[in-house]
Amino acid sequence: MKYKWRKENANLDYIVERIEFFMKCNGFEITKIKCNDCYTILGVSRTFQGEPKTITIFLRKTKEGFEIEMKPGRFVHQLLKFSFLISLFGFGGLLLNKYRSFELYQKIEEKFWVYLQDELSKM
């Protein structure tokens, strides 16, 4: 999901710091990449059912302000598109685990946007 904010003089370093804090509090290990006015934050968690869960957050500066986009791990998203075929060929167990990963992502995402809105109102 992607949101845009219209704050021309936004402090992107502060926003990245708050995103990192949120991800660490939710059990994710963080890798941050900065390129010009863009940040990519990759969160990996191994605390949920042993399999690594990944979430990628993109923060970009725009002319009017900035935008933040949050995406689940690429493999999970693509696998769910073909769920009918996967179940048809007998790999439903694999699919069930991926659905759980996606549910986790949705719960984290819901908390993330509420947290971020609260933090941005303090800026």
Q: What is the pLDDT of residue 102?
A: 72
Whether residue 60 contacts residue 20, with contact meaning beta carbons closer than 8 Å, is answered with no
Query: Distance (Å, rounded) from C-alpha 117 to C-alpha 8?
Result: 17
Kindly report, residue by residue over 35-86, the tens digit of the pLDDT. Answer: 888 899 888 887 655 566 788 889 998 888 889 998 876 544 454 555 545 5
Q: Output the CA torsion 7→121→115→66 (10° steps).
A: 0
Evaluate whether 116 touches 109 at the Cβ level (below 8 Å): no
Domain extents in the chain = 2-121
* Range of weakest confidence among 15-19, 29-33, 52-56, 88-92: 88-92
**How many CB atoms are located within 10 Å of the residue 108 CB?**
21
Q: Which residue has the higher pLDDT, 94 or 85?
A: 94
Place of tokens 């800026």: 123
| pLDDT at position 21 | 93
**88 vs 57, higher pLDDT:** 57
41 vs 30: CA distance, rounded Å? 7
**Window from 13-27, 74-88, 92-106 with minimum mean pLDDT:** 74-88
- Please identify, in words, the CATH class of the domain defined by 2-121: alpha beta
* Cβ contact 28:45 at 8 Å: yes
Q: What is the mean pLDDT of the chain?
A: 77
Note the pTM of the prediction, 2 decimals: 0.74
